[in-house]
Chain A
Amino acid sequence: MTEHKIETPKERQNRHKAMEAAAVLEKIKHDFKEPPKAMEYFYDLFERVHCKHEALHGDKAKVGTMCIQVPSEIIHALDAVPLRLCNGFYTDDEIGSDLLPSKSCPLVKATVGQFASNNFSDKPDIVISPTTCDQKAKSGAIIENMGFEVYDMEFPRTKESHESREYWRRSVRKFTKDLSQNLNTKLSKKKLKDAIKKVGYAQHLYHKLNILRKNNNSPILGKDMFLVTNAFFFDKIDNWVEAVEALANECEQRVKDEISVASKRSPRIVYTGSPPIFPNLKIPLLIELSDAIIVADETCSSNRMFNDMVSVDEWFVNDMVDSIADRYLKGCTCPIFTKNEDRKRRILDLVRDYKADGVIYQAFAGCQVYEMEQKSVLEAMEKAGVPILYLETDYSPSHLGQLTTRIEAFVESLKNRKRRQ
């Protein structure tokens, strides 16, 4: 008998995650028409971080965020690195499944699963948990019980009222003060202004790149865009900015040269719903492997992270903090809000501006708010004459057969519709 080395749980977990990540990267890189050359940076980044588990941020203070609603401008201004911990790994989802009710959202299970295994290449020093959806809010306490430092950031569930705006502004002011104390760093006017400008410039670059997708000749596929926006979760912001500058320039040239990653007949899709987070890009990949192209999205892992900019009246610290707070509340189209007309409006705007032929709405099984809002979004699309496909999925790598059938049938019906028009 030969002696086998028995892997530690961490080794096994990292091996599984590397396998998951490598399989998806392989698909992204090789199963499609030639991507822009500047995408190499991102392919390489994901390989380093998710296959080789390389740490990017060394000794810098790291602030983990459980949701898009934590203002990254403030974290940057306090010389710390924001790390968005919303997780897309099935390996971690399985670990989290042992700790949470079986019908929980896979994203929440995967996020909790990663904490449970305490397996981070860049480990957060403190975790900010906004009280946005129920499952995330409750996970904060579970993670705290595992021995992590967790800060609850209170977030309102309505956004139209004056009270909610004031409540959230107070919450952001308190967060700014508490984080500054926690990190033992003073917030200065200059640093906050610089941070707003820096994040604003990243948003500007995203918009520059995104607008190019309005062209009939599409310079970039949705699966690559999701990778670019996902990288913003954890990359060094300066490196990200540099890489996206290059990518936007290259895509601009591609549009001029009439290079397109999709055929003229490929239906154009707006993607909405539960966020695709690497490596769980299975729905975007299935869509684009079915000869359709994602031209825009309305998700918190992509468009919603960049869409609305901070607008400041007076460059004083208090005014800046309030302006930051407003950006995160007013622009948000998350289904956790009591009413959510903004979301329907935004989807319809995207359909019109990006000349989309249809909408694909994904909800994670267990993500109640996206599941509940499905009906009203479907009705709104039907009323506007926009075809929409609703899919319920989770992180498991099986189930692809039925999903493929639905997506292909939807794409075929869009093609028929296009031909008839």
Chain B
Amino acid sequence: MKKAELMDYDKALELFEPVLGFEVHVELNTKTKMFCGCANEFGQGANTNTCPTCLGLPGGLPQVNAQAIESSIRLGLALGCEIAEYSRFARKNYFYPDTAKNFQTSQYDEPIAFNGQLTIELESGRLVTVDIERAHMEDDAGKLTHVGGATGRIQGADYSLVDYNRGGVPLVEIVTQMIEGGEADSPEIGRTYVAAIREIVKALGVSNARMEEGNVRCDANVSLRPRGSNVLGTRTETKNVNSLRSVERAVRYEIQRQAALLHAGGTITQETRHWHEDTGITSAGRPKSDADDYRYFPEPDLVPVAPSREWVEELRATLPEPPAARRKRLQADWGFANLEFQDVVNSDLLDAVEATIAAGAAAQAARKWWTGEVARLANVSGVSADSLVQPVQVAALIELVVAGTLTERLARQVLEGVINGEGTPLEVVESRGLAVVSDDGALIAAIDEALAAQPDVLAKIRDGKVQAAGAVIGAVMKAMRGQADAARVRELVLQRAGSTE
């Protein structure tokens, strides 16, 4: 893929004002699909979770998933939206093999939630309020796999396989109003906005919120307008940007690409664009005009959704603390510096650290272990840190260190044991025999032996050259196979050297 001409980012912002818009699709984690009783599960054998309805067989009819309606309302409320008293599904008609019915059952002019607001905080502390136009319900398409051809895309493929397991999975599509005034922060606004949505759906428990599995997918709209103009530029829609970092990169790339093109006298084509994670560029997809005609009309197979005000208020009462407020509270409670706290948030370890502290660990120790050794081991095995070990185990480990049973170095070995499934930290300590040797008698015997073996060192210590004790400490630690508290050994070495005087 040829890399497009890019303009220097600062220069692009000098000449143009970026205008953004995001469509975030959230896959709900309901037990069954949006309009039928098939299991909503990731990673089953192809076309196993299907039935006449989600396969679009003749005679199949949809039934609305009540849990999906509830999740959508809660999500709408968490985004500060109004919940429609009367909401309808509509058919969005287009032919494509991954859409079993050749129409998507979506919502058009009567979405379940509308007019919301979400305030996000950038790393600089700048607060940006994103207006939410609507959050509507719809069903997901199946998954196409293009076989043959070099790119894995439909162009050049020999044939394509369709798996309808995902077809009919409930989605909520959250659409923002235009975001103006983002300026140089625009890419970060994209990342932070999507992160905030992800945090909210996770806190609500309405989605598994794993971007790598496509639970949260972002389409990023970017357009530029020349400084001093109030006419909107032509936008592009970069589809399915599926990591937070990619959202940021894709927005930045589009700003630089469009600026170069416009500055050279070119025009932007209104189109969808594909994001290429590996090369960090976007490429042209299909042209998309505002006149794309999906021939929407109210879905005649479904009755309107009219949630009672009482129910909406009941659901409002179930909303968790907003993630942004929770972060503020936790940072204050824990007394973390901004960088320390950001480290935890960016590593997606807020829940793990909170649970570890709740299990009795000191805040700083919890932070240090999770963002340090646990994160390192997780990185090595390519999994998320919070999937590696339970917070309660980390808390137990910290407790052993605090009690002096383990040194930091020993504790790291115990952690590996816990991760290997050898049991609780205490069980690993016992089975591996890793506890610190706190029997002074054994230490003194080893120290006396080491001092006797190195009379020159003993002499230096007695001359007041205390740093010479290092050699003896090293020998003792070696003799104890590391299972001694080095500080205690040092204390005892100095004591023995003095006492034999």
Task: Tell whether A pairs with B.
Answer: no
